[in-house]
Structure 1
Amino acid sequence: MSDDIQNNHAMPADANPELVSNDMPANTIFKSSSHWAVVGIFLLLLLASIAHARDFLVPVALGVLLALVFSPVRRFLERRRLPPAISAFIIVSGLMTLIGLGLSTLADPVQRWIKEAPTIGYKIEQKLRGANQSAKEVIDAGKQIEQIASLENETEQVQKVSPREPGVLVKLATSVPEILAQVVFTLVLLFFLLASGDMFYEKLVHIMPTFKDKRNAIKISYDIERKLSNYLFTITLINAVLGIAVGVSMWLLGMPNAILFGVLAFAFNFVPYLGAIVGVVIAALVGLLTFDHTGTALLPALTYLILTIFEGQIATPYFVGRRLEMNPVVIFLSVALWAWLWSIVGMLVAVPLLVAVRTFCEHIPSLQAFGTFLSARGSENFHPENTDIET
């Protein structure tokens, strides 16, 4: 009996199967919980840092995306024996010229819309409610009484106006220097990224320890650049064609500022779903202000909706391809998240970032399930090519 007790005390803990079976699950659960807690804290800190540094990160993100869009153009010019610096200068100069022409063309209609903004809401309300002439006379009489009261009490009027918040024009005027600074920063960064050529890939190859790591890193980098540049360049061309179609349609329907509608359609379509909805609403409001008959007033909005449906359901899937289609729910959540972080620019970069993340997940075995979750229905059978990428 004493020998059995001594043998039990002498038995090591790792040799007891009951002790192992009781302790290991608890340790595993504790380690797993700690791991996910650290991951959650890291993600929260990352989101807070991205939101706090938006003034710096927004032009950086735009510069990188523009560099990916124009990378095929840069390589085309380099194959014509143009140095990277000259190719970058040509691309940036052309982009600045397009921006200048667009601003000069849209300056007058945008300024006119801003000046008429206080009366647009009243006109729309009158169109929808069908107010009669007597109601208009009552409103005009009220305005006249208010003007007379304001003339009699100039001192009080000044005191009442002074604490009010600045108007739309004042806010736009104060934000112009900041916007111009970010645009200049984006263009300068774009120039340096294009002028550097393939320097970043050379540095990436240099810092990797083994040949296998060098090969995998350059393959992933080239695949992300190729898919992102193809996606952004194709989407830009599709949106340009959509803008032309919308502008011509608005002109044929007799809508004012047809060129502005074309530019808005081009810009809004970079934001999935929400951009098309905003464009249709604007077309409907301007139609109600332009035409008297309700059916004629809603025809521009219907035309805008038909063109965007054709683009989203037929043109984009055909030219972009199933390999780059994303989960619609993930796209919507991503657009909402980046809109909360970076406002309008965040909505523009949401889908390209998803494409980059999905492409990265395709090359990492442990992340392929997450990449499949990001993809659209029917694209699970598509896998990245196994061919080597030439450097």
Structure 2
Amino acid sequence: MRVLPSDRVVATAPEGAPVPDSKVELPPAIRRTEVMAFALVGLLVITVVAVLYVAKAFFLPITMAFIVGTMLSPAASFLERHRIPRPLGAVLIVAAVGAGAVFMVGLISSPVMEWRSKLPELGAMLKEKLHVFDRPLALWHELQSMVGGSDMLTSFQIPKFEWVQPTLEFLSPTFAEFLLFVVTLILFIASWRDLRRTLVMTFRDRAARIRMLRIINEIEEHLGKYLLTVTTINVGVGIVTGTICVITGMPNPAGLGALAATLNFIPIIGPVATFTVLAIIGVIVFPTIVGGLITAACFTGLSFMEGYFITPTIIGRRLALNALAVFLSLAFWTWLWGPIGAFLSSPLLIVALIVKEHLMPVNSPQLPEE
């Protein structure tokens, strides 16, 4: 009797019985070649970071000149369209920026030098004002002794001011680094057009050339807009801060406004440093601690409005940066290159995001939405 295919009996395992192991070998989740690639990329990143850290005296002025030069290139192109040769325009732009920087430094340095000569007297005044916290500290010590905890605040002392001179030396670059930055900046702006053409013609493929040209143009456009926008906002912050200092009776309002405008170029750290300076000066100058903190409190409100409403509205969604990315970039570049690295953290993050958008476009394979 012939058995039709439809009459075949399929043997099934009883319910609850274990499924037999398959003889087909599944491929490994991570291949050895992928592990080697990850390891090589990790070693490359570590090597690059180590080189940038060790050779800071060379790479920091060069990177600073490239970033600032890219920001100022639209101004050189504007002068060139008005029949001013690009090399001459580069010199004029660098001279104008240098004059503005010297003006700001002059406004800040005058009160700094005046207060620096009075540091012992000011320290004694600050210590006398902070005696109001002696009773809360004594209660804290008593509570710690009762619970048997470690006494972390055995003695409350005003921090000494020996850090002022090393900090100023750390912030000021050497003459060789400054000269390298200025010369590189002028030459970069003057030869930016030829340099851009060289970078584009490095690739043989036409599609790669077009992509490289788009990346360069977008970086130049966005960094130029970022510098103009941030500078305008920070000047406004400085003017408003100086006005607040005048209204509240703070000394040297012009210098404090210039300090606020300059420090505001450094995200997160700059406003915190300005608040600290205003709070210390206010506590020293005014008879009460509450009165001395009024200026710092007003600046906190101004900084909050600027950081969460004004700047995002003016910059727009295109240049809006993720807060976590800004913080991590700030922490990394500050650790690597100090205050100048903190200033460069946001522009370098913008460059990285633009390159990522072109190399990994939105229409590339993405993770599924949750």
**Paired residue secondary structure (2:265):** coil
Matches within 5 A, 1:45-194: 45-130=47-132, 171=166, 178-194=173-189
Q: In the alignment, what sits opposite 2:252? A: 257
Matches within 5 A, 1:351-362: 351-362=346-357
**Aligned mate of 1:314, from 309, 315, 318:** 309
Report the CA distance between 1:320 and its aligned residue: 0.6
**Equivalent pair of 2:70/2:189 in contact (CA under 8 Å):** no
Name the aligned partner's letter for residue 333 of structure 1: L
Mapped to 2, the partners of 1:49 and 1:236 lie a distance apart of 32
**Paired residue secondary structure (1:322):** coil
**Aligned mate of 2:277, from 271, 274, 282:** 282
Report the CA distance between 1:354 and its aligned residue: 0.8
**Equivalent pair of 1:361/1:371 in contact (CA under 8 Å):** no
Mapped to 2, the partners of 1:181 and 1:370 lie a distance apart of 48
Mapped to 2, the partners of 1:371 and 1:245 lie a distance apart of 45
Cα pair distance change 1:293/1:79, threshold 3 Å: same
Report the CA distance between 1:297 and its aligned residue: 0.9
Name the aligned partner's letter for residue 178 of structure 2: V
**Aligned mate of 1:243, from 228, 238, 253:** 238
**Aligned mate of 1:22, from 4, 20, 25:** 25
**Equivalent pair of 2:234/2:265 in contact (CA under 8 Å):** yes
Decide which structure has greater helix share.
1
Report the CA distance between 1:267 and its aligned residue: 1.7
Matches within 5 A, 1:212-227: 212-227=207-222
**Equivalent pair of 2:200/2:212 in contact (CA under 8 Å):** yes
Name the aligned partner's letter for residue 41 of structure 2: V
**Aligned mate of 1:294, from 285, 289, 313:** 289
Mapped to 2, the partners of 1:322 and 1:362 lie a distance apart of 14
Cα pair distance change 1:170/1:360, threshold 3 Å: closer
**Equivalent pair of 1:359/1:371 in contact (CA under 8 Å):** no
Residue 202 in structure 1 maps to residue 197 in structure 2:
yes
**TM-score normalised to structure 1 length:** 0.75
- List per-residue Cα deviations over 1:24-64 (Å, max 9, x = no partner): 427x5222222111111111111111111111121112212
Mapped to 1, the partners of 2:319 and 2:172 lie a distance apart of 37
- List per-residue Cα deviations over 1:276-326 (Å, max 9, x = no partner): 111111111110001002332111001111111111111101111111111
Report the CA distance between 1:80 and its aligned residue: 0.6
Cα pair distance change 1:368/1:354, threshold 3 Å: farther
Spell out structure 1 runs of 4+ moving beyond 6 A.
Answer: 172-177, 366-372
Name the aligned partner's letter for residue 110 of structure 1: V
Mapped to 2, the partners of 1:321 and 1:193 lie a distance apart of 29
Mapped to 1, the partners of 2:327 and 2:364 lie a distance apart of 20
Cα pair distance change 1:293/1:171, threshold 3 Å: closer
Gaps of 5+ in 1: 1-17, 133-165, 373-379, 381-391
Cα pair distance change 1:323/1:56, threshold 3 Å: same
* Total equivalences in the alignment: 321
Mapped to 1, the partners of 2:278 and 2:357 lie a distance apart of 41
**Aligned mate of 1:41, from 36, 40, 43:** 43
Name the aligned partner's letter for residue 324 of structure 2: V
Gaps of 5+ in 2: 1-21, 135-160
**Paired residue secondary structure (1:22):** coil
Mapped to 1, the partners of 2:167 and 2:264 lie a distance apart of 24
Identity of aligned residues (%): 27
Report the CA distance between 1:248 and its aligned residue: 1.9
**Equivalent pair of 2:171/2:339 in contact (CA under 8 Å):** no
**Equivalent pair of 1:224/1:359 in contact (CA under 8 Å):** yes
**Equivalent pair of 1:205/1:218 in contact (CA under 8 Å):** yes
**Equivalent pair of 1:123/1:289 in contact (CA under 8 Å):** yes
Name the aligned partner's letter for residue 41 of structure 1: L
Mapped to 2, the partners of 1:249 and 1:207 lie a distance apart of 54
Mapped to 1, the partners of 2:56 and 2:365 lie a distance apart of 27
Q: In the alignment, what sits opposite 1:150? A: none
Q: In the alignment, what sits opposite 2:142? A: none
Q: In the alignment, what sits opposite 1:336? A: 331
Cα pair distance change 1:280/1:370, threshold 3 Å: farther
**Equivalent pair of 1:253/1:300 in contact (CA under 8 Å):** yes
Mapped to 2, the partners of 1:269 and 1:34 lie a distance apart of 43
Mapped to 2, the partners of 1:325 and 1:185 lie a distance apart of 32
Cα pair distance change 1:178/1:332, threshold 3 Å: closer
Mapped to 2, the partners of 1:236 and 1:307 lie a distance apart of 16
Mapped to 2, the partners of 1:105 and 1:92 lie a distance apart of 20
**TM-score normalised to structure 2 length:** 0.79
Mapped to 2, the partners of 1:107 and 1:25 lie a distance apart of 64
**Aligned mate of 1:232, from 227, 230, 242:** 227
Higher RCO (CA < 8 A, seq sep 6+): 2
Mapped to 1, the partners of 2:42 and 2:227 lie a distance apart of 31
